[in-house]
């Protein structure tokens, strides 16, 4: 909003008063800049200062020569991400899981947000907290919760649930076919509470007057949700999705490494770029290869987010991020 | 992901800051002297150079009232012990006299050590001496963290005692490309492979008579695999509710004499005492035999159905009381150690033979940080860690009268009211210590355990011909990464016997070859051949 105001003003007054305008603008928003300062400093230190270090991806790191003194080796550090038989599997897994997560999580989070926003019970806050709880739990703990269900010998499902139906125990950690579902489920369970917060706040920000007039015109709850809430949520959904698309080449390490208990027989459906890099580099301890993987992920993410934003702008300019 | 990324970010910032602001090398060095300058002068006047440097340091300390400090870093299991400041002060009190400097032990939790030490080494934070146990010796050398110990005759001049203490062939085993970057801890380099450990109470409960076994040189029962099958069957029958065998992926590392030259099993020496031919161990009869044994045990119900996903350590599971036996490697004075680890009396069956692999000596030497301000001081402290009993005792066991008390026969035990749980200083990493034999022997271990260990090393039956061979595999890191992933994908079911070896081994080998095993082995062989020619080994 801030930027838009500024743009409008300078657009109107053109070049003449631009300098004066700028000064006034800075003065006007000075307290806000001060408020933003810690965040900006953090952003600068955490995200901009390491940028020159990206050069490491093209070097063979040697502590004696330092980051900038080390020898250039071209694209050699990237080779391991492409030149192996696993390259296809890890890229496919990373992208497909993330696409599935984006779709499933968005639908569920919007659903939950609408439910909570429509709720009038005094327990509303309690529900909201409960559904947020999984987000706060460490993936390592989640992995053991899952293990408690799926363990071959002592698991809840093999020992209690399956015998109820007279079914044979399943070796869960050796059967690939179930895991795409498990991982999607665990991920959704963990993040929808958090994702729904943003949707809830958007819904609460919608002018109640619109609903009232709709109600007067005879629209039921369902009609109100369909015709008012969802259309007004659209920009937020698009923004959240765009952000998620930018991270489509990253995977939640804990989810793919801890939750399947780093189980070899499941690699075909659980190995992602992050877990692959981690397994290989854990022993090599090679900083350059690690930097190469990070650079590759962020560049692809950058391109994808630009492309996604471009297509959104073509279809609906108001919803585009930039 | 989060952790690794955050680590990278911190790493980069740290190194950026270091480059931008000149490494912060000026910090805290008011008390440091120009060691090399003093040494030059002493050399010119023909005096004892090492002593001259010590005297100069003392004089400087008189002047400033502050001693120069050398930081020593290694890991333990629980992070910095409660009594660390007291121990540091006790060591420093002694070294101020002998070396004219302070020593600070920086003990880091084992889970964090590998990352932390790399961060410190690349950011210019002060750490002068460090154990490569954690990050790995070759990783440290390849990343350029380590100092050439023979630069300017450093070892010969300031570590003369150290040089005398460690046999030249063991020192040579730590050379990489001819350069000595580290000094091995004095310990058992040879291992007694394939030791089967069974809880004594379970043997007794099953009424199994162990007196029929003869004892080997180390005093453990000599047994065959058939005997082991018989024992397992007996305890399985007597304790059907407990799992017989506590597994871990150590068939090759602890259960065989296969030499993992250059630190990995992708291309190994199957007959390391006689041949330098690199072969794929996963196609060998030896591995097949192991796979069949695991399969047989699994079919017989000796192995837990959760073996593949349960990452608890084998001995910790036995400690919990629901498992009865495990496999490990043994050495002289192993009984005390394993009883402690398993929390009960264990009976040791020796099924394998003694073996010293090519990397046995060089697996985790002690190194000097290449960016240390004063290599001379670091070398002198390193020497003290190996040769000064007072320092060794403090580092290994803590303070006399506080952590331990000395018996009349010079062995030691817990001081009154102290035990492993409440001791303020008990790193419990004796095997990593520079020289555990310079310190006291724990009650129950033979008093001459140092000599016994040296003999055990010397008398080892299967000694790898490639002892001391190291290989920088960074040119093959793509293959290595793929091999590692392929191994983890297909090995578990074979190693823990969940799949018929016929199909399991084929799957594993197909995956390994698809990941570039042949190229990797060829490169290793070429490097090994070159090394053998250089060192005149046939």
Q: Is residue B398 part of a domain?
A: no
Instruction: With CB atoms and an 8 Å threshold, state whether B311 touches A262.
Output: yes
User: How far is Cα of residue A262 from the mean position of the Cα atoms in its chain?
Assistant: 22
Residue B267 clears pLDDT 70, i.e. is over it: yes
A281 touches chain B (CB under 8 A): yes
DSSP single-letter state for residue A159:
I
Instruction: Let me know how long chain B is.
Output: 538
CATH number, span A84-285: 1.10.3720.10
Of A50, A154, A281, the CB nearest to B13: A50
* Residue A77 structure tokens: 């550090």
The tokens describing A311, both together, are: 């297509």
464-483 in chain B: CB under 8 A from chain A: 473-474, 477-482
Instruction: Work out the percent of chain B whose per-residue pLDDT is above 70.
Output: 94
Per the DSSP assignment, residues forming a β-bridge with B330 are B192
B428 contacts: CB under 8 Å, gap ≥ 6: B76, B77, B420
Mutate to test the interface with B, among A248, A283, A292 (most CBs of B within 10 A): A283
Interchain proximity B122–A63, CB inside 8 Å:
yes
Would the pLDDT of A76 be above 90?
Answer: no
CA–CA separation, B422 vs B386, rounded Å?
28
* Claim to verify: residue B233 and residue B372 sit in the same structural domain: no
Do B341 and B485 share a domain, yes or no?
no
A65 lies within 8 A of chain B by CB:
yes
Distance linking the first and last C-alpha atoms of chain A: 13
Poorest-pLDDT segment among A80-89, A237-246, B38-47, B150-159: B38-47
Regarding whether B265 and B116 lie in a shared domain, the answer is no
Q: Are B368 and B378 in contact (CB under 8 A)?
A: yes
Q: Are residues B148 and B95 in the same domain?
A: yes
* Final residue of a structural domain among B342, B376, B393: B393
Using alpha carbons, select from B187, B330, B251, B278 the residue that is nearest to residue B464: B278
For position B20, what pLDDT does the model report? 43
User: Are the beta carbons of B267 and B520 closer than 8 angstroms?
Assistant: yes
The domain segmentation of chain A, as residue ranges, is 1-49, 84-285
Compute the nearest-CA separation of A141 from chain B (Å): 14
- Mutation target to probe the B interface, by most B beta carbons within 10 A, among A62, A79, A84 is A84
Contact status, residue B290 vs residue B222, Cβ threshold 8 Å: no
Give the pLDDT confidence of A132-148 residue by residue, as tens digits: 999 999 999 999 999 99
Task: Please tell me what DSSP assigns to residue A256.
Answer: I
Residue-wise pLDDT for A2-55, tens only, equals 444 444 444 454 565 677 788 888 888 888 889 999 999 999 999 899 888 889
Q: What is the pLDDT of residue B21?
A: 43
* B50/B142 same-domain check: yes
Surface-to-core class of residue A322, CB atoms within 10 Å of its CB (0-12 exposed, 13-18 middle, 19+ buried):
exposed
Once rounded to an integer, what is the mean pLDDT over residues B462-480? 86
Q: Do A63 and B371 touch (CB under 8 A)?
A: yes
Q: Does B498 reach chain A within 8 Å, measured CB to CB?
A: yes
CA distances from A265 to A60, B287, B293, B407, B529 (A): 33, 20, 20, 53, 36
Assigned token pair, A122: 């005094």
Instruction: Identify whether B423 is part of a domain.
Output: no
Q: Chain A interface, mutation test: which of B143, B309, B322, most A Cβ atoms within 10 Å?
A: B309
Q: Which helix (H) or strand (E) holds B309?
A: none
Which positions 128-187 of B are in contact with A (Cβ < 8 Å)? 135-136, 139, 142-145
pLDDT band at A65 (very low <50, low <70, confident <90, very high): confident
Q: What DSSP designation does A46 have?
A: I
- B377 shares a domain with B302: no
CATH of the domain at B144: 3.40.190.10
> Which chain A residues are closer than 8 Å to B491 by Cβ?
264
Q: Rounded mean pLDDT of A227-242?
A: 90
Bridge partners (DSSP) listed for residue B268: B279
Dist CA B210 CA B188 (whole Å): 27
Q: Determine the Cα–Cα distance for residues A105 and B523; give it in Å rounded to an integer.
A: 47
A193 reaches B (C-beta below 8 A): no
* Domain ranges, residue B157: 2-187+362-393
Domain co-membership, B384 together with B366:
yes
Over 50: is that where the pLDDT of A242 sits?
A: yes
**Mind listing the pLDDT tens digit for each residue in B93-149?**
999 999 999 999 999 988 889 889 988 998 888 999 999 998 889 889 988 899 999
B209 and B165 assigned to the same domain? no
**Confidence (pLDDT) at B31:** 59
pLDDT of residue A15: 62
pLDDT, residue B5, reads: 56
Q: Between β-strands B191-199 and B323-330, what pairing exists: parallel, antiparallel or unpaired?
A: antiparallel
Please report whether residue B340 resides in a domain: yes
The count of structural domains within chain B is: 3
- Contact A290/B at CB under 8 A: yes
Query: CA triplet A59, A61, A63: central angle to 5 degrees?
Result: 150
Average pLDDT, rounded, for chain B: 88
In a domain, B416, yes or no: no
| B42 has a pLDDT exceeding 90 | no
* Chain B hits for A60, Cβ within 8 Å: 474
For A294, the closest chain B residue by CA position comes to B5
CB atoms within 10 A of CB A88: 10
Residue B429 belongs to some domain of the structure: no
* DSSP category for residue B415: P
Alpha carbons B363 and B174: distance in angstroms, whole number? 9
Q: Which burial class, exposed, middle or buried, applies to B21 when counting CB atoms under 10 A from its CB (0-12, 13-18, 19+)?
A: exposed
Q: What is the pLDDT of residues B170-201, one digit of tens each?
A: 998 898 888 999 999 999 999 899 999 999 99
Determine the pLDDT at residue B253: 85
Rounded Cα distance, B192 and B188, in Å: 10
CB contact under 8 A, B16 and A50: yes
Same domain, B50 and B148: yes
How many contacts (CB atoms, under 8 Å) link A and B? 159
For residue B520, pLDDT over 90 is answered with: yes
Of B32-36, B41-45, B76-80, B466-470, least confident by mean pLDDT is B32-36
Is the Cα torsion angle A76, A77, A80, A83 positive or negative in sign?
Answer: negative
- Cα-flanking dihedrals φ and ψ of residue B186, to 5°? -85, 115
Cβ contact B159:B379 at 8 Å: yes
Residues B155 and B222 in one domain: no
pLDDT in tens, B226-244: 999 999 999 999 999 999 9
Is the per-residue pLDDT at B26 higher than 60?
no
Q: Which of B390, B386, B388, B368 is nearest to B377 (CA)?
A: B368
Q: Is the CB of residue B82 less than 8 Å away from at least one CB of chain A? A: no
Residue B262's region, left for phi above 0, alpha for psi from -120 to 50, else beta, is: left
CB spacing of A265 vs B516 below 8 angstroms: no
pLDDT single digits (tens) B304-325: 988 888 778 888 899 889 999 9
Interface contact flag, A151 B477, Cβ < 8 Å: no
Q: Give phi and psi for B236, each to the nearest 5.
A: -65, -40
> Does residue B447 lie within any of the structural domains?
no
Interface list for B 404-433 with A (CB within 8 A): none
More confident residue, A316 or B410: B410
Q: Minimal CA–CA distance to B496: which of B290, B196, B267? A: B290
Do B161 and B383 form a contact (C-beta atoms < 8 A)? yes
Residues B137 and B221 in one domain: no
* Statement: residue A165 has pLDDT above 50: yes
Residues B199-221: tens digit of each pLDDT: 999 999 999 999 999 998 888 99
pLDDT at A175: 87
pLDDT range class, residue B527, cuts 50, 70, 90: very high
Q: What per-residue confidence (pLDDT) applies to A278?
A: 87
Interface test with chain A among B140, B181, B308, B519, by most A beta carbons within 10 Å:
B308
Q: Label residue B18 by pLDDT band (50, 70, 90).
A: very low
Residue in B474, B493, B498 closest to A60 by CB:
B474
Residues B213 and B331 occupy one common structural domain: yes
């Amino acid at each position: 909003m801030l930027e838009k105001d500024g743009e409008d003003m300078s657009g109107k007054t053109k070049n003449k008063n631009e300098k004066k305008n700028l000064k006034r603008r800075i003065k006007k928003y000075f307290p806000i800049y001060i408020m933003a300062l810690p965040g900006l400093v953090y952003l600068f230190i955490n995200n901009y200062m390491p940028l020159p270090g990206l050069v490491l991806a093209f070097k063979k790191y040697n502590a004696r020569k330092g980051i900038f003194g080390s020898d250039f080796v071209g694209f050699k550090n990237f080779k391991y991400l492409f030149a192996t038989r696993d390259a296809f599997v890890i890229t496919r897994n990373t992208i497909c899981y993330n696409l599935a997560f984006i779709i499933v999580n968005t639908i569920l989070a919007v659903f939950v947000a609408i439910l909570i926003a429509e709720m009038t019970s005094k327990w509303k806050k309690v529900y909201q907290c409960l559904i947020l709880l999984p987000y706060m739990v460490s993936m390592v703990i989640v992995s053991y919760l899952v293990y408690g269900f799926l363990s071959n010998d002592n698991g809840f499902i093999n020992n209690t649930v399956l015998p109820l139906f007279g079914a044979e125990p399943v070796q869960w950690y050796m059967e690939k076919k179930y895991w795409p579902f498990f991982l999607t489920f665990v991920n959704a369970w963990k993040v929808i509470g958090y994702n729904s917060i943003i949707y809830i706040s958007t819904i609460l920000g919608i002018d109640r007057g619109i609903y009232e007039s709709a109600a007067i015109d005879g629209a039921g709850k369902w009609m109100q949700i369909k015709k008012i809430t969802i259309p007004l949520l659209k920009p937020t959904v698009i923004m959240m999705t765009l952000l998620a698309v930018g991270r489509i080449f990253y995977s939640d390490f804990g989810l793919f490494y801890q939750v399947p208990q780093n189980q070899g027989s499941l690699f075909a459906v659980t190995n992602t770029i992050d877990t692959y890099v981690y397994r290989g580099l854990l022993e090599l301890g090679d900083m350059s290869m690690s930097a190469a993987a990070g650079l590759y992920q962020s560049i692809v993410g950058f391109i994808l987010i630009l492309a996604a934003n471009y297509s959104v702008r073509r279809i609906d300019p108001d919803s585009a991020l930039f | 992901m989060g952790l690794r990324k955050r680590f990278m970010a911190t790493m980069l910032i740290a190194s950026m800051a270091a480059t931008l602001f000149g490494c912060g090398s000026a910090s805290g060095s008011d008390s440091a002297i120009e060691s090399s300058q003093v040494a030059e002068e002493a050399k010119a006047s023909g005096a004892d150079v090492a002593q001259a440097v010590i005297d100069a340091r003392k004089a400087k300390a008189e002047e400033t009232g502050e001693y120069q400090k050398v930081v020593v870093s290694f890991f333990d299991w629980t992070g910095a012990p409660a009594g660390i400041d007291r121990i540091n002060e006790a060591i420093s009190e002694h070294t101020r006299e002998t070396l004219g400097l302070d020593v600070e032990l920086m003990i880091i939790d084992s889970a964090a050590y590998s990352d932390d030490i790399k961060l410190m080494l690349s950011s210019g934070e002060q750490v002068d001496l460090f154990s490569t146990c954690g990050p790995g010796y070759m990783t440290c050398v390849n990343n350029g963290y380590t100092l050439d110990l023979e630069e300017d005759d450093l070892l010969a001049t300031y570590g003369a005692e150290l040089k005398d203490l460690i046999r030249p062939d063991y020192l040579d085993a730590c050379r990489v490309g001819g350069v000595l970057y580290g000094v091995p801890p004095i310990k058992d380099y040879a291992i007694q492979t394939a030791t089967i450990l069974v809880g004594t109470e379970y043997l007794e409960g099953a009424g199994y008579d162990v007196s029929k076994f003869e004892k080997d040189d180390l005093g453990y029962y000599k047994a065959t695999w058939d005997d082991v099958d018989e024992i397992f069957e007996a305890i399985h029958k007597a304790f059907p509710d407990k799992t017989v065998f506590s597994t871990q992926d150590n068939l090759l590392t602890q259960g065989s004499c296969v030499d993992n030259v250059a630190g990995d099993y992708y291309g190994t020496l199957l007959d390391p005492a006689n041949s330098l031919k690199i072969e794929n161990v996963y196609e060998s009869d030896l591995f097949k035999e192991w796979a069949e044994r695991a399969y047989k045990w699994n079919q017989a119900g000796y192995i837990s159905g959760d073996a593949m996903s349960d990452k608890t350590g084998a001995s910790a599971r036995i400690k919990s009381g629901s498992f009865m036996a495990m496999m490990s490697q043994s050495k002289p004075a192993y009984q005390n150690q394993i009883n402690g680890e398993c929390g009960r009396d264990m009976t040791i069956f020796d099924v394998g033979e003694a073996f010293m692999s090519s990397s046995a000596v060089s697996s985790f030497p002690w190194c000097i940080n290449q960016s240390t301000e004063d290599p001379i001081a670091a070398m002198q402290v390193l020497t003290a860690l190996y040769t000064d009993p007072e320092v060794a005792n403090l580092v290994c066991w803590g303070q006399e009268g506080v952590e331990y008390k000395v018996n009349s026969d010079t062995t030691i035990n817990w001081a009154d009211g102290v035990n492993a749980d409440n001791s303020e200083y008990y790193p419990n990493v004796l095997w990593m210590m520079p020289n555990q034999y310079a310190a006291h022997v724990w009650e129950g271990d033979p008093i001459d355990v140092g000599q016994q260990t040296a003999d055990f090393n010397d008398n080892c039956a299967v000694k790898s011909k490639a002892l001391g061979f190291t290989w920088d595999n960074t040119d093959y890191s793509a293959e290595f990464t793929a091999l590692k992933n392929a191994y983890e994908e297909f090995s578990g079911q074979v190693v823990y016997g969940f799949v018929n070896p016929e199909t399991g081994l084929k799957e594993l080998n197909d995956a390994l070859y698809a990941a570039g095993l042949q190229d990797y082995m060829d490169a290793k062989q070429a490097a090994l051949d070159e090394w053998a020619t250089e060192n005149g080994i046939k």
